Amino acid sequence: MEAHPVITRDLVCFVVVGLLMIRGWRVLNWAWLTPERLERCLRQQGLRGTPYSSLSGDFKQMISMRKQTRTKPMPLGDDIEPYGLLLFFINFSTNMVLLEACKVTVQIRRFIHVSTDEVYGETDEDAFVGNHEASQLLPSNPYSTTKAGAEMLVMAYGRSYGLPVITTRGNNVYGPNQFSEKLIPKFILLAMRGKALPIHGDGLHVRSYLYCEDVAEAFEVILHKEIENLGWSERVVWEDGLKKTMDWYTKHPDWWGDVSGALLPHPRMLAMAGGRNIDSEEPNGTKTLVKGPKLPNGSCNL
């Protein structure tokens, strides 16, 4: 698989899943982005007139400004499921490739590693003190475990080689154009179809959300300002962001094509106590609707 990391000439090597860097830090309108335009943007002429340059290569190779050498196969056991192995490669190995690339150049002023608040593990809703940057990392699933490992790797390169690294731990992002497997677009599309809303557990879990435009602005602030004096706060409150998202999906219900598979409950839900599928059939022929979730009344800061 070919990947295209973007390394700036005089600013930063910035890696973020879900945000595409084209002529500044913006949330890209996917209606504008076509395969042809994406390919053009990743070419050198597509970056002409911007402070960015493009390095193209296979992430499975160790990218170097002087030479490229292949990494040796890692002795991973057969007991690692394919999905977990993919997470390890994406979240850990590719970060090491980027860190190695940054280590051999003096052009990188900031390396922003985008992590997740899931590295803290589960947090009680009524906890007196929330998590902070020095809180213990207790990841509880393969995804958050690989993200925590990537954080340690980034920290190690910062301490060992003096790379100017910054790690962010944001929470859930939502907004228009998001793929339907995520909770908010899934619930919107299910409600539009008159379907029940599948949940895990008793429905009392709370999630925190940030609107996509706020996230893009946050990264721009982190890029340019002193880390101790960011002066950033979210602009789009929960109610407004949710309305914007609902309006978009109402106008574009078929944007992602057939998403019926993405709208199904997670397989683990059916294995949980009391878990049921959407409109699950009872032995007597009646249907049991799964209750909707208790959504948070606000979003947390990044």
Instruction: Give yes or no: residues 302 and 188 share one domain.
Output: yes
d(CA 25, CA 38): 16
* Per-residue pLDDT at 73 exceeds 50: no
Q: In the chain, pLDDT over 90 holds for what percent of residues?
A: 23
Average pLDDT, the chain: 70
Report whether pLDDT(113) > 80: yes
Which of 92-101, 127-136, 149-158, 281-290 is the least confident region? 281-290
Q: What is the spatial distance between Cα 296 and Cα 206, in angstroms, rounded to a whole number? A: 6
Task: Judge if pTM exceeds 0.75.
Answer: no
Confidence grade of residue 149 (pLDDT, cut at 50, 70, 90)? very high
How confident is the model over 74-88, as pLDDT tens digits? 443 333 344 566 777
CA distance linking residue 220 with residue 218, whole number of Å = 5
Which residue among 58, 78, 118, 234 is the active-site one?
A: 118
Q: Look at residue 262 in the predicted model and tell me its pLDDT.
A: 85
How many domains, in total, are found in the chain? 2
Active site residue 209: no
User: For residue 156, what is the domain's CATH number?
Assistant: 3.40.50
Q: Which residues contact 30 (CB under 8 A, 6 or more apart)?
A: 177
pLDDT of residue 59: 52
Together in a domain, 54 and 130? yes
| One domain for residues 125 and 18 | yes
| Gap between the Cα atoms of 188 and 294, Å rounded | 14
- Whether residue 18 is predicted with pLDDT greater than 80 in this model: the reply is no
Same domain, 140 and 212: no
Q: Residue 9 CA to chain centroid, in angstroms?
A: 25
> Could you confirm whether 161 is annotated as catalytic?
no
Q: Which domain holds residue 100?
A: 1-170
Residue 242: strand, helix, or coil: helix
* Cα dihedral sign, 194-210-114-256: positive
The catalytic position among 36, 78, 117, 125 is: 117
Residues 296, 186: one domain? yes
CB 87 within 8 A of CB 147: no
Q: 231: part of which helix (H) or strand (E)?
A: none
Q: What is the distance between the alpha carbons of residues 28 and 270, in angstroms, rounded to a whole number? A: 36
Residues β-bridged to residue 149: none
Active site residue 228: no
Q: Give me the catalytic one of 100, 143, 181, 213.
A: 143
